[in-house]
Structure 1
Amino acid sequence: MNDSEDTLDSAASTFLADVGLFSEEDVDGLEDLDGGDIFSLFSNRSLQHTQQLCAMNSIIRSIYANSDSSSSDIDFGNYYNSNITCNDTIVQGTASDSNDPAILTIGRRFYVYLTPIIILIGLIGNSLSLKVFTSRRMRKQSSSYYLATLSGSDLLTLLLYVLPSWLKEASPLITGDQRLGFIDYDGVCHLYVYFAYVFRFLSVWLIVIFTVERYIGVCHPLRRREMCTTSCAGKGVISIAACSLLVFATKPALSGVYETVAGGEVHRCTSRPNFKYVSFIFDSVFAVLTTFVPFIIILSMNSLIVRKLFLHKKRQRRDKLVSPENRMKIEFTLILLTISTGFIALSLPYFVAWCKKFNLSQYMSSRTYEMNANMDEYKCIQGLVLITQTIFFINYCSNFFLYSLTGAYFRSELKHSLGYSAWQTRRASSLSLSRGMSKSTRHSWV
């Protein structure tokens, strides 16, 4: 009988340590207590722990109110206890908690107020870029096919991914009410997920294949006439678009509107519970294919292109004349270097912050009762994610300005498209004979 009681007391002590009510050091002091004493300690300590759980529930709800549903790294529903009775003022999380770290508050406001500006500028800029690259003179160049498609893809990404994400995430901070749940319906959720993945992937890989096309044109000039043609560009665009549409057709089947917090109060567009591991693998591969792999390809090919251009520029100093066709090709190459470098600079901080958030979320999910201790760090990282994600969105609106800064032909065609150059035609023609030749022989890279 004594052996049985000792076994029960030992089991009770071990249980208290396992559930996190006592540390391992405290358990050593419980070995001499009987079951009744342990139960009494359990009751007192569990009351304190219940208060901690209530606070944790509030934190979890607050995180859910402001996190991106497409990147729910932690299944917080496993840690939320809907059977705990808490004060309503504790449990009801708000969009902005006065106890939140400053970086999270800054990140929220940075995201809320800067994102609509990015959307507006991106819609106007990409529309103008699309008009320029599809004009009669510009579409004769194979590079225009890639850049026109990139402008269209960025437009659709802004409309179908960035704008809906901003509307549902920013609404609690703008109106002070609950976030808009227009995405959290079957059908709408599936379409949102599908197009968000398709056009994000397409925007990145259009830059990659444009980089490959310019690499061939600059570093392998003997294959330029064979590979750098409008026909090949059209086939490349169609291939990458078809690949994107087909590969991500499976993503809606892995998504839906489900409970994200136990108790049935919070339903969001997220991964299907029975396919969470598959969704995790899918999203991990997507993250690698839209960040790490493009980084490697773009950096390596750009390095080779820059090296070749330096050698080419030395030869140009000896040759006094450069044909307009070659100047346009050089200009497209400079545009490529600018937008690809901008893509890496704007994407890398978000990729690093996302990886940090993912690693911490995995650590927290494997240590349930350390969630409360690590939640402040998680909130700080969430603030960094919001800031870097907003910076990442600049990718979808900045290309128009990069084209304008680095492309004389783009600026000229833009003015023509806007009707600005019509009244200057006679004046420009009278000056072109005396000034055009001297400027064209300076080998301008713009």
Structure 2
Amino acid sequence: MANNTSFDLSHLLYRYPSRTALLEEFAPAVPLADKIAPPFWYFIGFLGNPISAAVWLGQRMRRNNSSAIYLGALSITDLIFLVLHLMYVLHMAWGYDVYNAKIGCELFHFAYYVPQYLSTFLVLAFTAERYVAVCHPFLKEKLCTVQRAAVVVFLLLAFSLALSSAQAYIWTFSELENSCNIRPEAGVGDNWSFWSVWTWVTDIFAFGLVPLAVLVFNILVLREIFKISRKDALTRQHSQINGTGGGRANGGNSAASTITLLSVSTYLIVTQLSATVLSCLNPSFPHGGMNMSDSEIRADKTWSSMFTYLEVRKIVEVICMSHYACYFFIYCLTGKHFRKEVVRLLTINGRMPFLNSLVAKSRRKERYSMVSTNGGPTSETYATNFSTTM
């Protein structure tokens, strides 16, 4: 028995049976970052996302506005992710067994990835729609409709569910270790295991290629806007020279909506790609020997490099996950109509006397049209791929 105890204590996983305990000892910035930063995003997101969803999906905004469907779905998706991330933090950083159970482990990881995928896909969808509206305006009435937007959202949800379904197989609850770990069958083959290959491919696709596609669409839209602006400037200059006047173009609403959508997509690109780049570096920082003592681990360059990487990655991820909470501020800063609708909603349709003047201004009869008149989106961007199975 003494020999068995000695052997058990010499192995890292017996001294630190949970990932949280291991990180608290050697990389304390990882659990500390999860405890400090996310609560700010929860507070902002739990207030801002429901308001955003209510405004975008309200009849006044979505009636002739296909982008409102995407933005409303994005607000709901981000809210769901923040709820799941709260469960993740309670489990990983605070030590509560939120999903340490049979079926619960599999269901949580399946659900945890769905809003992450869907969030990026929704941003791609409305960015592509904005590209059509700006660069191919003759197709706008046909392709950029509220009905089509609702169908696209449903299809993107189905696709996200399909991508996430593999997580139910990859993760499983281990009764021996009393933790949620990578299924042994899914981990066979190390770097070429099903878990590694699937995670690598889907993360690169959803969190790398999709944001890059958004970036390409943004560049094309900005280039077209620049060409149109230059052409309009030349037209106005010609009109003034010939004394024909030339009134101001009625494009303020369209320009403002473009700024809103470009700002949201740019925010996603910066945050998502930053986290993705760090995630892709994970194979470059392997762990060291599993039978080292604590002092040997601290002196070992391999272990030290891995723990430093995990700390840097976690800090960047908790900062980058702000895009799940802060779109509300972008909407308010760039959208006049959105601000008015928020005031109308928060004042219960103008029934609060001390804000009646603001509501009266916000209820002017205006047509909300960002794209279409219809003929009249571990971080925790990623679950950290580091389990006690190592």
TM range (shorter): 0.7 to 0.9
Cross-structure match for 2:171 = 255
CA distance in 1, matches of 2:31, 2:142: 50
Contact 2:30 2:315 in 1 (8 A): yes
Cross-structure match for 1:203 = 119
Cross-structure match for 2:129 = 213
1:335 matched to 2:267? The reply is no
Q: Measured at CA, do residues 55 and 354 of structure 1 come closer, stay the same or move farther in structure 2, by a change above 3 Å?
A: farther
Look up the SS of the partner of 1:395 in the other structure.
helix
Q: 1:417 aligns with which of 339, 345, 351?
A: 345
Q: 1:155 aligns with which of 66, 69, 79?
A: 79
Q: 2:24 aligns with which of 87, 90, 96?
A: 96
Cross-structure match for 2:91 = 168
Q: Which has the larger radius of gyration?
A: 1
Cross-structure match for 1:43 = none
CA distance in 1, matches of 2:66, 2:291: 58
1:61 matched to 2:16? The reply is yes
Q: Shift of residue 329 of structure 1?
A: 3.0
Q: TM-score, normalised by structure 2?
A: 0.77
Q: Shift of residue 405 of structure 1?
A: 1.0
Q: Identity over the aligned pairs, expressed in percent?
A: 24
Contact 2:9 2:15 in 1 (8 A): no
Q: Shift of residue 107 of structure 1?
A: 4.2
Letter in 1 for 2:82: L
CA distance in 2, matches of 1:254, 1:107: 23
Q: Shift of residue 315 of structure 1?
A: 4.3
The CA deviation string for residues 271-330 of structure 1, in whole angstroms up to 9 with x for no partner, is: 21112222222211221122211122011111111111122233454353343xx43333
CA distance in 1, matches of 2:361, 2:212: 45
CA distance in 2, matches of 1:312, 1:59: 66
Contact 1:143 1:332 in 2 (8 A): no
Contact 1:215 1:302 in 2 (8 A): yes
Cross-structure match for 2:67 = 143
Q: Shift of residue 424 of structure 1?
A: 1.4
CA distance in 2, matches of 1:124, 1:167: 20
1:274 matched to 2:185? The reply is yes
Cross-structure match for 2:280 = 355
Q: Which 10-residue stretch deviates more, 190-199 or 415-424?
A: 415-424
Cross-structure match for 2:151 = 235
Query: How do residues 103-142 of structure 1 correspond to structure 2 at under 5 angstroms?
Result: 104-139=27-62, 140-142=64-66
Q: Shift of residue 53 of structure 1?
A: 9.7
CA distance in 1, matches of 2:9, 2:231: 72
CA distance in 1, matches of 2:182, 2:49: 32
Query: How do residues 281-430 of structure 1 correspond to structure 2 at under 5 angstroms?
Result: 281-317=197-233, 318=236, 320-323=247-250, 326-361=251-286, 364=287, 372=297, 373=300, 374-419=302-347, 422=350, 423-424=356-357, 428=361
Q: Which 10-residue stretch deviates more, 243-252 or 336-345?
A: 243-252
Contact 2:211 2:272 in 1 (8 A): no
Q: Shift of residue 164 of structure 1?
A: 0.9
CA distance in 1, matches of 2:360, 2:66: 32
Q: Shift of residue 385 of structure 1?
A: 1.7
The CA deviation string for residues 140-180 of structure 1, in whole angstroms up to 9 with x for no partner, is: 201001000000110111112x1111111221xxxxxxx11
Contact 1:184 1:268 in 2 (8 A): yes
Letter in 2 for 1:114: A
CA distance in 1, matches of 2:360, 2:332: 23
CA distance in 2, matches of 1:182, 1:106: 22
CA distance in 2, matches of 1:320, 1:421: 35
CA distance in 2, matches of 1:385, 1:427: 48
CA distance in 1, matches of 2:10, 2:180: 25
**Structure 1: stretches of 5+ with no match in the other structure:** 1-49, 67-92, 172-178, 437-446
The CA deviation string for residues 381-431 of structure 1, in whole angstroms up to 9 with x for no partner, is: 1111210120121010010011111111111111122228831169749xx
CA distance in 1, matches of 2:256, 2:15: 51
Look up the SS of the partner of 2:281 in the other structure.
helix
Look up the SS of the partner of 1:180 in the other structure.
coil
The CA deviation string for residues 161-206 of structure 1, in whole angstroms up to 9 with x for no partner, is: x1111111221xxxxxxx1122110121122111111111001110
CA distance in 2, matches of 1:127, 1:420: 15
Contact 2:11 2:290 in 1 (8 A): no
Q: Measured at CA, do residues 141 and 61 of structure 1 come closer, stay the same or move farther in structure 2, by a change above 3 Å?
A: same
Q: How many residues align?
A: 333
CA distance in 2, matches of 1:418, 1:148: 17
Look up the SS of the partner of 1:269 in the other structure.
strand
Contact 2:344 2:359 in 1 (8 A): no
Contact 1:155 1:396 in 2 (8 A): yes
Q: Measured at CA, do residues 357 and 275 of structure 1 come closer, stay the same or move farther in structure 2, by a change above 3 Å?
A: closer
Letter in 1 for 2:148: C
Q: Measured at CA, do residues 186 and 219 of structure 1 come closer, stay the same or move farther in structure 2, by a change above 3 Å?
A: same
Greater length-normalized contact order (CA 8 Å, ≥ 6 residues apart)? 2
Look up the SS of the partner of 2:326 in the other structure.
helix
Contact 1:328 1:409 in 2 (8 A): no
CA distance in 2, matches of 1:269, 1:426: 51
**Structure 2: stretches of 5+ with no match in the other structure:** 188-192, 237-245, 351-355, 367-390
RMSD: 3.0
